[in-house]
């Protein structure tokens, strides 16, 4: 009896089970649905709870992804994922009894609306190899895309670009300059800006951004150049991705058999001034620039260059010319392979002695010049000389002597003359071209240590001036100096040698009474006189009543101030005279003329 009841229960249970069914209607196999499109999954059921779980598979059921749980209804709207699969299935089962289930009778196809074709995994793209082409296909997209990359397997993303693209048969491309961000875990992600929630694709597998190859490229000197001893030249190069910020620079004079250090470490700025190129002439020279932190990274000049000695050629004045003192002339020279700095000298004695015109004078042209104001000298043995300041063995001078005509020459007094003070003398000079004719004339009595002006800025065209009177400054160390007031820096001359000024003759001149006067006894009158060049400050005054046969003292010594009050004595006479003489020097005197 118990067995019968159990069998009845089993039969009833199986009958109930067989009457509970789910049947997937769509998609049921063979369809092709586009990724990111809106589709409806439908099914029928009988005897179920009315609540369902809905799932899909892209690999013929190997794995399933949920679309809905405990869903009530017989259809559900599905935004098809942006994937590529020909093995897609959909299944529906009773939420309350997962034994009641159905799935698509056969696989259907999902075609992606956006799919990356490159890089899609496994590629190795190296930094600094130009651009690489990113490619993708799009169907029903907006043509506006966001391109991103990740170097950490998708944990974070960096933007490459966001732009509108023009497709070719639904295919798109973008030339990407690979960033210097090496990694073995790179991914690319592309998103349709018009439908970012769905139309997105990521590389199927990681690809590699490889570290760049360090590069150095010597630019100059790179072959065929000529560099000159003691000159400065720029060594230039380009570089990328070196180990540090410094480079080492070397040169070879034997085509690379051996190398000499220019500098062990200098900033990698692409240029270095190689100053004072060594005195090692050679036509087999090379430059090498190396990564200071990794000497195996370097570059060498593509071909040999030359190190040579430079040359100079003085071209003017070069011999036979006649130039004028205090006039401006250009000293001319050409140069090859010298530095840009020069010394200039001139000689008046055919090279026995030299005088400097300029030191370390800067010129960059091939044909150089220097403005020379010719000195106020006379010479028929003049030359000029040009020397490389940085290499004194490179020089040239005038091929032959030339003449300098002086602009101003003092001719008198020019040495050894004896001029007496207080007399009139003629100062003379000759002058060359360019004089202003406004002259300053001075004299010195102490060999030129100090000067006293005779005339200043005075217009004279004759080349002579009467010095009247010659200063009463006795000396054997006298000189005359004359200069053009408007060009005193050059147009100046001094007596060639010392001359002498002797003392002036002392002079006294009585002015009152000087003859014909009538003086009255007992009356005060002024005796007046003038004097020059006396050695004493006192004079002696006398009078005579017998026309000079005898003299009577008025004052044996009185100040030589030119006047003395005299009360006439009671000695009436028509033959009176007054005499004034230098105190202590009776030979210097004067008396009334009558």
Arithmetic mean of pLDDT, 214-238: 92
- Return the CA Rg of the chain: 60
With contact defined as beta carbons under 8 Å apart, do 482 and 491 qualify? no
CB-facing half-sphere around the CA of 156: CA atoms within 13 A: 1
pLDDT band at 434 (very low <50, low <70, confident <90, very high): confident
Arithmetic mean of pLDDT, 414-422: 95
In angstroms, the CA 548 to CA 135 distance is 142
In angstroms, the CA 247 to CA 311 distance is 33
Each residue's pLDDT tens digit, 24-55: 999 999 999 988 889 999 999 999 999 999 99
Q: What dihedral do alpha carbons 579, 581, 584, 585 form, nearest 10°?
A: -120
How high does pLDDT run on average in the chain? 93
Each residue's pLDDT tens digit, 515-553: 999 999 999 999 999 999 998 999 999 999 999 999 999
pLDDT band at 243 (very low <50, low <70, confident <90, very high): confident
Q: How many helices (H) and strands (E) does the chain have?
A: 1, 52
How far the first Cα of the chain sits from its last, in Å, is: 205
pTM recorded for the entire structure: 0.48
**Greater pLDDT, 160 or 212:** 160
């Amino acid at each position: 009896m118990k067995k019968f009841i159990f069998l009845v229960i089993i039969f009833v249970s199986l009958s109930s089970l067989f009457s509970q069914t789910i049947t997937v209607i769509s998609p049921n196999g063979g369809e092709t649905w586009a990724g990111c499109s809106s589709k409806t999954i439908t099914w029928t059921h009988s005897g179920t709870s009315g609540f369902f779980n809905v799932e899909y598979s892209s690999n013929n059921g190997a794995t399933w992804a949920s679309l809905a749980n405990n869903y009530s209804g017989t259809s559900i709207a599905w935004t098809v994922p942006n994937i590529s699969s020909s093995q897609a299935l959909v299944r529906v089962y009773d939420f309350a009894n997962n034994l009641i289930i159905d799935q698509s009778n056969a696989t259907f196809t999902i075609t992606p609306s956006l799919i990356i074709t490159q890089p899609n995994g496994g590629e190795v793209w190296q930094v600094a190899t130009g651009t690489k082409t990113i490619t993708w296909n799009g169907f029903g997209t907006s043509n506006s895309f966001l391109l991103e990359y990740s170097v950490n397997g998708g944990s974070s993303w960096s933007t490459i670009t966001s732009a509108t693209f023009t497709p070719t048969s639904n295919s798109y491309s973008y030339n990407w300059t690979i960033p210097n961000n090496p990694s073995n875990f790179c991914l690319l992600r592309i998103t349709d800006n018009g439908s970012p929630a769905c139309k997105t694709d990521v590389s199927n597998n990681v690809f590699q951004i490889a570290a760049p190859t360090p590069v150095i490229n010597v630019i100059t000197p790179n072959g065929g150049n000529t560099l000159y001893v003691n000159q400065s030249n720029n060594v230039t190069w380009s570089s990328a991705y070196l180990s540090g910020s410094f480079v080492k620079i070397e040169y070879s004079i034997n085509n690379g058999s051996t190398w000499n250090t220019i500098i062990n470490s200098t900033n990698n700025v692409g240029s270095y001034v190689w100053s004072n190129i060594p005195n090692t002439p050679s036509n087999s020279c090379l430059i090498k620039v190396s990564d200071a932190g990794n000497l195996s990274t370097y570059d060498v000049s593509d071909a040999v260059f030359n190190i040579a000695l430079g040359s100079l050629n003085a071209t003017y004045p070069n011999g036979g010319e006649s130039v004028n003192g205090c006039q401006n002339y250009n000293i001319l020279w050409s140069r090859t392979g010298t530095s840009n700095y020069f010394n200039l000298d001139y000689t008046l004695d055919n090279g026995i002695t030299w005088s400097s015109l300029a030191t370390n004078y800067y010129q960059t042209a091939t044909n150089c010049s220097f403005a020379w104001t010719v000195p106020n000298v006379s010479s028929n043995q003049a030359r000029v000389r040009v020397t490389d300041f940085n290499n004194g063995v490179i020089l040239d001078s005038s091929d032959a002597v030339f003449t300098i005509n002086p602009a101003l020459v003092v001719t008198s007094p020019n040495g050894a003359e004896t001029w007496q003070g207080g007399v009139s003398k003629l100062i003379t000079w000759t002058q060359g071209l360019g004089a202003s004719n406004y002259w300053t004339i001075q004299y010195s009595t102490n060999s030129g240590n100090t000067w006293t002006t005779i005339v200043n800025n005075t217009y004279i065209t004759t080349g002579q001036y009467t010095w009247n009177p010659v200063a009463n400054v006795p000396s054997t160390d006298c000189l005359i100096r004359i200069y053009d007031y408007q060009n005193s820096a050059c147009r100046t001359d001094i007596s060639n040698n010392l001359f002498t000024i002797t003392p002036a003759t002392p002079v006294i001149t009585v002015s009152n009474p000087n003859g014909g006067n009538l003086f009255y006894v007992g009356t005060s009158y002024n005796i007046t006189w003038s004097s020059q060049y006396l050695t004493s400050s006192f004079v002696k005054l006398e009078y005579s009543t017998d026309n000079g046969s005898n003299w009577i003292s008025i004052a044996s010594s009185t100040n030589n101030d030119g006047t003395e009050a005299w009360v006439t004595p009671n000695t009436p006479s028509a033959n009176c005279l007054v005499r004034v003489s230098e105190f202590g020097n009776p030979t210097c005197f004067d008396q009334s003329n009558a």
